[in-house]
Copies of this chain bind each other. A is one copy, B any other.
């Protein structure tokens, strides 16, 4: 059966051991999260917006997209679908009618615990074969790498 989708490093990525590992890890991680989200009738990415609303209900669309780090159009469409699914409501703000204020419905709020459970499960599975020291070191490094990449992206976005 030759275990499926195991990470065999292509020669072309020989010089990108760490980067390729991130790539493969993210794939597996996201697939696992997607499976759990499906069980609660959510699509990957929607949980990020909901989590921002759990933290502070009644945010504007602009606040949501900045905090989630997504494009306006992505957020606009995603919110519309979640509204149609009955998870939230969108209303123009009274003081500025361009702004759309987003509120959770009861159905939306009901997903807070399931989503928190998903993260707990994901975390538990992820760290299951690591020592506490490794967990700490890995998380720290992940944030350092993220910052490095982000900073570099800002300097030379084209390449």
Contacts and interface: CB of A to CB of B under 8 A. Distances in A.
A81 interface: no
B69 A5 contact: yes
Contacts of A76: none
B126 A148 contact: yes
A31 interface: yes
A15 B141 contact: no
Interface stretch (A83-91, A92-100, A132-140): A132-140
A72 interface: no
A150 B28 CA distance: 6
Interface residues of A, number: 74
A42 to B, nearest CB: 13
Interface in A14-66: 14-32, 35-36, 39, 48, 50-52, 54-55, 66
Contact of A138 (B10, B138, B148): B138
A10 B143 contact: no
Given A115-B12, A125-B152, A23 B18 contact: no
B35 A116 contact: no
13 contacts: A10-B48, A10-B55, A11-B51, A12-B116, A15-B119, A16-B119, A17-B139, A18-B139, A21-B142, A25-B142, A25-B146, A32-B153, A130-B144
5 residue pairs, one from A and one from B, having the closest CB atoms: A26-B26, A5-B69, A16-B119, A10-B51, A21-B142
